[in-house]
Amino acid sequence: MAKNTYIDLFAGCGGLSLGFFNSNQWKAKFAIEKSPDAFETLRYNLIDRKNHFDWPEWLPMTNHDINEVLKNYSDKLRSLRGSIDLVAGGPPCQGFSTAGRRVESDNRNKLIESYVKFIRLVQPKLIFFENVKGFTQKFDKNKIKGRIYSEYVKNPFNEK
């Protein structure tokens, strides 16, 4: 039986990928994770030991910054259209979290834009977007008042 294909963005040490692996319904194409230590954990557990990834030759099997992947491999990402069932991932959420300071100007918040660019290039059938409760709440105390970042993710996909 053919398995569904997916790409794991902001993969960390592979928690979401482990869940997909355990379901026995999915096969990963590749994962994007900036942290070398987190990527090495993912690689050890899911690539080397479980053979869960069908890694493309054009992408070095190492940690990557999503913006560097977008810059250097946009044509390769575009060529994946029609072959990827799902893109999973949760961009960093520290700037949104109600457990923290909720700083709208936190540079990590901009990684949502990178997530959207990636989705637009690959055009998977589904997206799995994980984040925190604060992601759907307005920033009332900052200079750019009222921006709800969840709308930023949804709106580009509602455009025709």
Q: What is the pLDDT of residues 7-44, one digit of tens each?
A: 999 999 999 999 999 999 999 999 999 999 999 999 99
Q: What is the pLDDT of residue 157?
A: 54
H or E segment at 76?
helix 66-78
Q: Calculate the average pLDDT of the chain.
A: 81
Residue ranges, the chain, pLDDT below 70: 92-110, 131-160
Instruction: Give me the catalytic one of 93, 116, 119, 153.
Output: 93
Q: What is the pLDDT of residue 9?
A: 95
93 assigned to active site: yes
| CATH number of the 4-158 domain | 3.40.50.150
Q: What own/partner pairs with CB < 8 Å and gap ≥ 24 does 59-66 have?
A: 59/30, 61/30, 62/36, 63/33, 63/34, 63/35, 63/36, 63/38, 63/39, 64/32, 64/33, 64/34, 65/34, 66/9, 66/10, 66/32, 66/34, 66/111, 66/114, 66/115, 66/118
